[in-house]
Amino acid sequence: MIHIRLLGIGLIGPGLDGWSDGARVLRDGGAAYARRETAIPAPALLPANERRRTTACIKLALAAAEQAVRDADLDPAELASVFSSSHGDMRVSDNLCRALASEDRPVSPTQFHNSVHNAPAGYWSIATGSRQPSTSLAVADSSFSAGLLEAALQSRANGHPVLLTTYDHPAPSPLNSAAPLIDPFAVAVVVQAGKQEPRLRLSLETGEESRLTRQELEQLRLGNPAARALPLLAALADGLPATVHLPHQDRQLRIDLESA
Amino acid sequence: MPVTPIPVTAYTLSNALGRGKSAVLARLRGSDSGLRPCDFEDVGFPCWIGRIPGIEEVPVRADLAEFDCRNNRLAQIGLEQDGFTQAVEQARQRYGRERIGLFLGTSTSGIREAEMAYAHRDRANDSLPSGFRYQTTQNCYSLTDFCRRYLDIAGPAFSISTACSSSSKVFAAARRHIDAGLCDAAVVGGTDSLCLTTLYGFHSLGLIAEHACAPWGLERAGISIGEAAGFALLERDAKDAPAALLGYGESSDAHHMSTPHPEGAGAARAIELALRSAGIPAGELDYINLHGTGTRLNDSSEDRALQHFQHTAACSSTKGWTGHTLGAAGITEAAITLLAMETGLVPGNLGLGEADPALTTPVRTISSEQTVNYAMSNSFGFGGSNCSLVFGRYR
């Protein structure tokens, strides 16, 4: 059992533009949900010459990370970071594979360094000047829950807050038929281990994953692995004691929200 | 802050030197590199590679056929050496399958399958062959998913993909999960296999040497890519173990996506944190396995980093033997470091050629016998992700 507090939240999704906007929609009896194309803001922290080299997927991750850090009002350079994504940047994979399947295999250096799973982590480190450690994980549908545990454990080990950013972006054709995702989605949280309230209690157990009652939100939850975080976000938006279960491989990550 | 030593009760490695500890050790005693001129696919530029023969011959276990690809075949080969699967089975019986974690590093997973699928795609309607199984091959989690099922363990598991530090960082992740009581033991390691993505990718950056790599050498001109699989078993406690993980240090460079910090600041930080968490001064180290990729910039920035520490350790890069095994470099070199501790064989820095006078850290040119009680293995990755591990005797 691990106790954490969330110091800041970022959210980028279809019709969910930031945490305060998203919370208004996600809470029980909240505003109507209107799905529209995910608006990915340009990450402000990244210098223009680096920003030019980034892809939509990288921008998605960085913009969510920025929101969480701003919400927490912390210096990003001080935070260790965990990035988790089920699929990574599939547009870059597609570009690379096309290049490799062609006559002279024209692979560009930028394409290649953008193809590594830890590309967003690398850009984040450059943008913030942070020399704190960073890790980049992949865990299929459990990317958020595994990332949250890893961030909690790192915070527990080093005593400082840790930034988690979970993101997934749809692929272009033809990869999209192999890995269908409905919309870009990213959630970022700044995690501090410890028993101060308001706190979340994390544990692993067998059980059923939490579902959302509104069909369109449930579709989003199932349509993008990063959106498996939605039941937690909905419970946070309610601000009441609650228990949610998020998929964690063959089990569930049980999160007990205790009120302030 | 210091961490409790955690026993490494089993480990194994397979790479261009051979399959398993005995084969690798036999080669490390001599001077016959595992690198050869590239004969992989139809790569259109001169380079040397560390290729493992025979991967093409044996598919993955029949019940896991959907995972079949070069990378998972290599993982299977790796798991089957040195009684490793038996060691995991014993741990499974001792603790229960849900109490064994699994943390594996990979940079390219099964991307070779995607490369081939695109090469054979239907150009008319731009569709991929129906046999392409993205989730169980190309996807980054595929390696961990495959090994999880192969070993029948069910504790927390994920793939770490931070380029060259991937299968070094897995040790740190396992340490934290065991400390927190989320599991009682963990399999750590990684696998990376030859593919066009990394060969052409590093080539586009001008980082692939035309000949066998020459880490730390005056004439060094880049990396030679190798493929490898390696695994280690960490347990909360044990009656006996060949070695223990004493500490780890992780950091980022915050410098550039494909160039290390010239002063090695991030690397120095990782080394500093590793020593601090192990509770030993640098002077106690008997052996340091360098990241030593053979690029001009890595080796000079790594050398700068080491200058911050007072030590008398024997040092060598072993990439002249195995090549740079990328996502598997961390575990491959940790395993070589553990071999050095277990057998007293300190491997030489193969491929050095003429030493670079600008590098202040002397390296051992030939393998020799020496007692190694404390050792360090460093992995400083592409994209600026650094990890340093300290190993010692288990008491």
Across the interface, whether the CB atoms of A130 and B254 are under 8 A apart is answered: yes
Partner-chain contact A113 B176, CB within 8 Å: no
- Residue A260: band (very low, low, confident or very high) from pLDDT cuts 50, 70, 90: low
- Say if residues A122 and A112 touch (Cβ distance below 8 Å): no
SS (H, E, C) A148-204: HHHHHHHHHHHCCCEEEEEEECCCCCCHHHHCCCCCCEEEEEEEEECCCCCCEEEEE
pLDDT tens string A14-61: 999 999 999 999 999 999 999 999 999 999 999 898 889 999 999 999
Lowest mean pLDDT, pick from A194-198, A243-247, B163-167, B339-343: A194-198
CB neighbour list of residue B156: distance below 8 Å, 6 or more residues apart: A146, A149, A204, A248, A249, B101, B102, B177, B182, B183
Query: Is the C-alpha dihedral spanning A23, A227, B144, A203 positive or negative?
Result: positive
Percent of chain B with pLDDT over 70: 99
CA distance B227 to B225: 7
Q: What is the pLDDT of residues B203-252, one digit of tens each?
A: 999 999 999 999 999 999 999 999 999 999 999 989 999 999 999 999 99
Long-range CB pairs of B117-123 (<8 Å, 24+ gap) are: B117/A97, B118/A97, B118/A98, B118/A100, B118/A101, B119/A100, B119/A101, B121/A101, B121/A174
Q: How far is A140 from chain B (nearest CA, A)?
A: 6
Nearest-Cα residue of chain A relative to residue B259 = A113
- The stretch A219-242 carries a mean pLDDT of 97
Q: How far apart are CA B222 and CA A23, in angstroms?
A: 51
- Chain A nearest-CA distance from B148, in A, is 11
The answer to whether residue B259 scores a pLDDT higher than 90 is: no
**Is B164 designated active site?**
yes
Report residue B331 as tokens: 């575990």
The answer to whether the beta carbons of residues A14 and A230 sit under 8 Å apart is no
Catalytic residue among B69, B195, B324, B387: B324
Mean pLDDT (chain A, rounded): 96
The reported pLDDT for the residue numbered B1 is 55
Provide the whole-model pTM: 0.98
High-pLDDT (> 90) share of chain B, %: 95
Q: What is the 3-state secondary structure (H, E, C) of A52-74?
A: CCCCHHHHHHHHHHHHHHHHHCC
The answer to whether the bond into A198 is cis (omega within 30° of 0) is yes
Beta pairing partners, A257: A200, A242
Instruction: Please judge whether B162 and A204 are an interchain contact, meaning their C-beta atoms are less than 8 angstroms apart.
Output: no
Between CA B390 and CA B284 the distance in angstroms is 11
Report which of B247, B220, B188, B214 is spatially closest to residue B377, judged by C-alpha positions.
B247
Residue B2 has pLDDT above 80, yes or no: no
Provide the residue count of chain A: 260
B231's enclosing H/E stretch is: strand B228-235
- Is residue A86 over pLDDT 60? yes
| CA–CA gap between residue A80 and residue A192 (Å, rounded) | 11
Output the six-digit token pair for B201: 């990718």
Q: Which of B139, B200, B269 sits opposite A131 (nearest CB)?
A: B269
- Written as one letter, the residue type at A65 is A
Find out whether A220 and A233 touch, Cβ atoms under 8 Å.
Answer: no
Nearest CB to A140 within list B141, B156, B176: B141
Tell me the shortest Cα–Cα distance from B246 to chain A, in angstroms: 15
The torsion angles phi and psi of A217, rounded to 5 degrees, stand at: -75, -35
**How far, CA to CA in Å, does B100 sit from each of A204, B3, B92, B103, B170?**
13, 20, 7, 10, 14
DSSP secondary structure of B117-167: HHHTSBTTTTB--TT--TTTTTSTTHHHHHHHHHHT--SSEEEE-BTBTHH
What distances in angstroms separate CA B22 from CA B18, B50, B71, B74, B85, one per listed residue? Answer: 8, 18, 23, 18, 17
Q: How far apart are CA A89 and CA A94, in angstroms?
A: 9
Is the model's pLDDT at B382 over the cut of 80?
Answer: no
Stretch among A171-175, A256-260, B128-132 having the lowest mean pLDDT:
A256-260
pLDDT for the residue numbered B395: 78
* Residues on chain A touching B252 (C-beta within 8 angstroms): 121, 125, 130-134
The reply to whether residue A125 touches residue B169, judged by beta carbons under 8 angstroms, is no
pLDDT, tens digit (0-9, with 9 covering 90-100), for B48-67: 999 999 999 999 999 999 99
Coil, strand or helix: which one is B349? coil
The Cα of B16 is separated from the nearest Cα of chain A by a number of Å equal to 24
A122 closest CA partner among A107, A104, A108, A135: A135
Q: Please tell me which residue of chain B has the smallest CA distance to A247.
A: B156
B18-19/B6-15 β-pairing: antiparallel
| B173 vs A contacts (CB less than 8 Å) | 135, 150, 153
Interface contact A138-B139, CB threshold 8 A: yes
pLDDT surpassing 60 at residue B87: yes
Torsion angle in degrees (nearest 10) through CA of B267, B268, B274, B280:
150
The minimal CB distance from A125 to the residues B126, B169, B253 is found for B253
Q: Indicate yes or no: CB of A139 within 8 angstroms of CB of B144.
A: yes
Residue B324 bears catalytic tag: yes
Task: Given the residues B203, B261, B291, B311, select the one marked as catalytic.
Answer: B291
Which is the catalytic residue, given B164, B183, B195, B387? B164
Cβ contact B114–A108 (<8 Å): no
Q: What is the pLDDT of residues A164-189, one digit of tens each?
A: 999 999 999 999 999 999 999 999 99
Residue B311 zone, left/alpha/beta (φ > 0; ψ -120 to 50; rest): beta
Q: Is the pLDDT of residue B100 over 80?
A: yes
Do A113 and B179 count as a contact with CB atoms less than 8 A apart? Answer: no
pLDDT of A210 strictly over 60: yes
Task: Determine the distance in angstroms separating the CA of B179 from the nearest CA of chain A, rounded to an integer.
Answer: 9
**Number of other residues whose CB lies within 10 A of the CB of residue B297:** 15
Band (B71; pLDDT cuts 50, 70, 90): very high
Residue with tokens 């070589």: B336
Q: How far apart are CA B75 and CA B73, in angstroms?
A: 5
**In the predicted model, what is the mean pLDDT of residues A137-163?**
97
